[in-house]
A and B are shown apart, each in its own frame.
Chain A
Amino acid sequence: MDAIFYISAAVAILATFLMLTRMNAVHALLYLVVSLLAVALVFYTLGAPFVAVLEVIIYAGAIMVLFVFVVMMLNLGRQASLQECEWQRPGMWVGPAILAAILIAEVATVMMRGHTRIPEAAVVGPQAVSLSLFGPYLIGVELASMLLLGGLVGAYHLGRRTKEKRESQNNVVIGADAARSAPGGDLVHAGSDRTAGSA
């Protein structure tokens, strides 16, 4: 079990590092998915199977899919990859790498100075988690649902793209509803310009 932990931890770090250095956005997203799956395996070896499954389903399965959708929708193409190559000069990495190395050294010293024994991984099953969620952490669940509602409304509102009304277009098209004018404008009402009579 320890070998699985170390191997998957190494895979997670390697995949994250590879993700940072990719020029193509889709390649980087795939490496990020690999990193998330490796972290899910780490969760499983730590005795948290519920969270491991949640990570795979929600993080790698929904959030990353959302990323992939948006990247595909933006349709960046080869020109964007070349632009990334121009932006990423090797000298850019020196500053943040030094600062991050200082941070890693700090964390390492703190960990070395503390408990030296390897903590035993107690298996905390889904039942204990759910009992705790419905008990003391109920307020957190309600707040999280409100946050998700706010995120949903915000994303819907930000995802709309309303074009400026063109007067000539409204005069030419007889009887056309303004909300059904252009498919490329409003992302939400994109498919609603098909009326029942024009099949």
Chain B
Amino acid sequence: MELLNLVSKDYVVPLNIPKSTAYKYQQVISRGYAKYLDAIFACGGVCMLNQLIDLIEYFEIKKLTYAGYAKRARVMLTKLEELGFVEIEYLNRNKYIILKHPAVALSDGDYKTHRRVSVKDLFRSDKFMCSITKFQSLLDYGYVSEYENVFKQLYSITGSILELINENGNLFGYDVDVIHDILNTTNYMDAISIVEDLPGHKCKLGIVRSIWVDIAKMYRKLYLKGCLIRKEPLHLSINIQSDGHVTLHYVPVIVIYDTFKGLDYYVKQDSFLSEGFFGINTNNTLGMKDDYQKKGKLGYEHFSRIGYTISLFGPSNSMLKLKAKALSETYHNGGIHSPMVKQCEYNEVDVDKYINHSYTTEGNDEMYNESMNKLKVAIDEMVGGMNGA
């Protein structure tokens, strides 16, 4: 999602709403609040009050003081709370805003959406910090990757492959009907099922099979870990050979929002990604990284070559650089078969200022566990010492 696009976006009352609540949606839309809810929704459903004030400053044409923007925020939130679109809670002394179901429905377009923002889930995992970090990256960089991109990109690539096959008279004899069926699915799991139910000897899909078995499943795992795919890949070209078979040269940008994960986690992520991409069926990674570094392309078009790179967003502290370095291990030491064609770039996102002043986001799971272990040892020694003598 890009912030600029929200300025002129039109919002309508979502489908399937209880009729008696239509006026509430109309009020939210007519007052211009919908774009703010949409921005919060795109980032995970939560934002800090100060972040919302910064967003108002971005959208507001008239120049005001900070107090002026804060007043606008207060007025907006009072109305949204009254209409049942948001809930306001506190983290220590900092206010944060959570979207309620009507706000989610407004952004989603349908009241019967399965998507929810659950307070319990927010704090059980790192969804809260992830949402705050995403929102901040939206403010700082003007865009944020959305979960829709994750599989939309694969559908788009499949569509382009089908188009190329048809333009060239399907010399290779691909099962184009099956590719059509894949493109007609609305859920990526259905697309994966179609491909898995038709083994290679029964159905000729070529690189499309690798897309919907290997890449799609890896994307699913990434998505479940909170990672996203940037809208524009680093490199994409679809090539047709003289015999009609199609090859794919593709380098997605995997977007990771750093929250409380320790270095160990990112070391494991690096292994997971390099093994996953290296293991994609029909993927030839030999010399790919060097080819990309020297010429900006992935080499010989006769083979399919699928690599990746990473864009890491996180709080501006020394840990971020170390985490980016851990994620680039494959790039630096993966050898000539490295599927990582460009090292991880890191983008600093200052969320510390929105959290309690006595807390910094250098804290993470690893540090929390380390603190607790040390504390336990100290307490056990002291308490045990009381009983020992």
Do the two chains bind?
A: no
